[in-house]
Structure 1
């Protein structure tokens, strides 16, 4: 486990809205790669990038360049497709020549609704409106909402999925739903606590089963006794295990 660093932080904007920015945390020396941190909160405006700040600091201390991404959420101009537009544009910040970052390894790491967006970002190149200059190479989903149809049927977040999409999810939402984008071309890890009362572990279990059956590289990392927020506690064993996954990447 790695504690918080005193890393330099640069705020970069990618649009005119107050939520269109990202904080870039840099390590000492050459980065091992880039991790894009995407916070959760059922896509709602009351949850923001500060949820990801401790993780970004820990990642920088562990040698990674960490882009802690903010985006428009439901209640401040977000929802579909605006939130997806923002995540795509935020990731493409990494291609800016002024940053001088090696994008050979770009990992999206997202928690809860951010896990949904992290997995979605790996498939965005399949759709012309979201194709960009930076490819995602690996995905780590922390208690991610990876099956929008099942999440809505289960009433997760008090109807958060329908609120985010603007309607009940279905086949027409395939470009937005990780489960309907199986198989991904990139390896994906689902880190999930067995005692998660916000996003049940069945979300990750079903996704990994479908992905591996389709020939994709997907792995379930179970945190025994872990709840929803254990995974984003930078002092937790769950976070140490997530850093361990990253050690296998770069």
Structure 2
């Protein structure tokens, strides 16, 4: 799969204010293109031509430069789960003075699947240097880009963290944006393990088969195959998770540390899978603290 980077460089800037943004609307209600001022704002920004090639950019108050967290939602990579449940979490990070890029992507049972879902995650991240930075009025610090994801979005965030290790013909290879940390909540790191020992049908749907059918796809898509990544990855997982086996986080962190990466594991006693999507939960509170510590605000 050839890189989609030439396409992303031609991406136009489309902004829609979804919060009170001084100077970002016109009397006709048309889509607005405007510079960000010092007020907090939430903007919808497109990074491609597909209906799901967009994200919500949460800008804190102040002139910047602002560190950025790329948020990647979960839901089994499926069309019927979208970025909306990550909006309260994104806003809670923006309230800490962090710019947050909550991304949507094309998904299985929609226009996504292999390799489009992964390519979209890459394109959305790379758009920080183009359409998203334009939307922010140049206020983003692209040397301080961090990642956070939950479940299937945790897989994509961990994959983004290691995509610079991929061969040149793989989706996501040779990125311009190099994140400096990743916080992965109940993530899927080893897709082969999930599809076989874990009997995970979601993985099989994403990659359109089992590891024996598509070993090359599993090698490209599995974050555990891309070590070392050269940045701190913190895996956070509930001990009572019945959706994604905690062994995913344990084995990834062990492999990362063995490869020389500064990976950490935080097991949350008695917590399950979905709690990370609740802004008021102890699971999100723990993950948010880790993200904020990585960012250093």
Q: Does residue 103 of structure 1 match 2:138? A: no
Q: Is the contact between residue 148 and residue 291 of structure 2 (CA under 8 Å) also seen in structure 1?
A: no
Scaled by the length of structure 1, what TM-score is found? 0.92
Q: Is the contact between residue 66 and residue 141 of structure 2 (CA under 8 Å) also seen in structure 1?
A: no
Question: Separation in 1 of the partners of 2:252 and 2:142?
Answer: 27
Larger radius of gyration: 2
Q: Can you list the C-alpha shifts for 1:108-131, whole angstroms capped at 9, x where unaligned?
A: 101000010001001112333423
Q: Does residue 169 of structure 1 match 2:206? A: no
Question: Separation in 1 of the partners of 2:95 and 2:277?
Answer: 16
Q: What SS is found at the alignment partner of 2:57?
A: strand
The alpha-carbon deviation at position 94 of structure 1 amounts to 0.9
Question: Separation in 1 of the partners of 2:65 and 2:279?
Answer: 20
The alpha-carbon deviation at position 248 of structure 1 amounts to 2.3
Correspondence for 2:202: 160
Name structure 2 gaps, 5 residues minimum.
1-18, 21-39
Correspondence for 1:216: 261
Q: Is the contact between residue 109 and residue 140 of structure 1 (CA under 8 Å) also seen in structure 2?
A: yes
Question: Separation in 2 of the partners of 1:64 and 1:31?
Answer: 10
Find 1:91's aligned residue among 117, 125, 134.
125
1:38-187 correspondence to structure 2 within 5 Å: 38-96=72-130, 97-98=133-134, 99=136, 100=138, 101-127=140-166, 128=168, 129-130=171-172, 131-157=174-200, 159-169=201-211, 171-172=215-216, 173-187=218-232
Q: What SS is found at the alignment partner of 1:50?
A: helix
Do the aligned partners of residues 95 and 214 (structure 1) sit closer, same or farther apart at CA in structure 2, a change above 3 Å counting?
Answer: same
Q: Is the contact between residue 156 and residue 198 of structure 1 (CA under 8 Å) also seen in structure 2?
A: no
Moved more, 217-226 or 148-157: 148-157
The alpha-carbon deviation at position 167 of structure 1 amounts to 1.5
How many equivalent residue pairs? 245
Q: Is the contact between residue 192 and residue 204 of structure 1 (CA under 8 Å) also seen in structure 2?
A: yes
Scaled by the length of structure 2, what TM-score is found? 0.78
Question: Separation in 2 of the partners of 1:65 and 1:44?
Answer: 26
Do the aligned partners of residues 35 and 156 (structure 1) sit closer, same or farther apart at CA in structure 2, a change above 3 Å counting?
Answer: farther
Question: Separation in 2 of the partners of 1:79 and 1:119?
Answer: 17
Do the aligned partners of residues 109 and 116 (structure 1) sit closer, same or farther apart at CA in structure 2, a change above 3 Å counting?
Answer: same
Q: Is the contact between residue 109 and residue 139 of structure 1 (CA under 8 Å) also seen in structure 2?
A: yes
